[in-house]
Structure 1
Amino acid sequence: MAALKIAFEAPDNSGMFRPSQARPIDLVHLANQTMGDKALEIEVLQMFSRQSRQLMKDIAGADTEGRKSASHRLKGASLAVGAHAVARAAEAIENDPATDSHLAELSVAVLEAEHFVLKLCR
């Protein structure tokens, strides 16, 4: 009977394992995508870093439609690995490709994600 009482009086800790939006890469989301395979996580993150670097070049040198297309691809890749800040910044460019401040925000988000990936790969 005491165990039953403890179970119903215990605090709700269900929020304890929610994905982290604070990190450049949401490791919980990534682990779900890779089924917990750490080697695959590293491989996917390295591919994401290379792809994001190339897409940044594409976005910077493109016309309006090119910016929309490249930022859409970057947003998709970012969501796949859990790089939520990169995805939000890419979406801002996709929705408003003429505003240069969005490109600066995206550059910062990509750089932070790349540094995070480099630290994980050490």
Structure 2
Amino acid sequence: MIAHEAESFGSHTPDSSENARDMPLDLNHLRRYTLGDEALEAEVLGLFLAQLPETIASLRSAATERDWKIAAHALKGSSRAVGAWRIATLAQEAEALACGAEPEACSEAISRLEAAASEASDFVKEAAHRA
């Protein structure tokens, strides 16, 4: 299923390939952690994609700097775990923002995260259809 799609992207490590970082998801990264178990890959990606809108909503509704930082940090970690490098980078940038002082920057960060999340979701759907 999705694991076989990863083969077409070559062997990537998070640090060694700009191509992997340009993809919405580095499926080879995920594959290393799931040991090629297609059902597990699908389950992990499904959980990640289901949680994305909730975490982004937590950013949008963050009442304090602490709430913002917790949500951004959680998103950064979960994105790195599945190889969603673009989302992880955007979450890291969001985590560094001070929303009380930079509300426009925080709003823009959410917009960029939503776009990247949509792209990742579309990528997974397309990969599943090709498998």
State TM-score, norm by structure 2: 0.75
Deviation at 1:107, TM superposition (A): 1.3
Alignment of 1:13-92 (within 5 A): 17-19=11-13, 20-63=20-63, 64-92=65-93
Deviation at 1:18, TM superposition (A): 2.6
Distance in 2 separating the partners of 1:110 and 1:96: 19
Which runs of 5 or more structure 2 residues have no equivalent in the other structure?
A: 1-9, 14-19, 100-104
SS at match of 1:21: helix
Deviation at 1:102, TM superposition (A): 1.5
Structure 2 counterpart of 1:6: none
Identity among equivalent pairs (%): 35
Deviation at 1:116, TM superposition (A): 1.3
SS at match of 1:17: coil
| Bigger RCO of structures 1 and 2 (CA < 8 A, at least 6 apart) | 2
Equivalent residue pairs, number: 107
Report the structure number with the largest CA radius of gyration.
Answer: 1
Structure 2 counterpart of 1:120: 127
Distance in 2 separating the partners of 1:101 and 1:53: 16
Which runs of 5 or more structure 1 residues have no equivalent in the other structure?
A: 1-15
1:110 aligned residue (89, 104, 117): 117
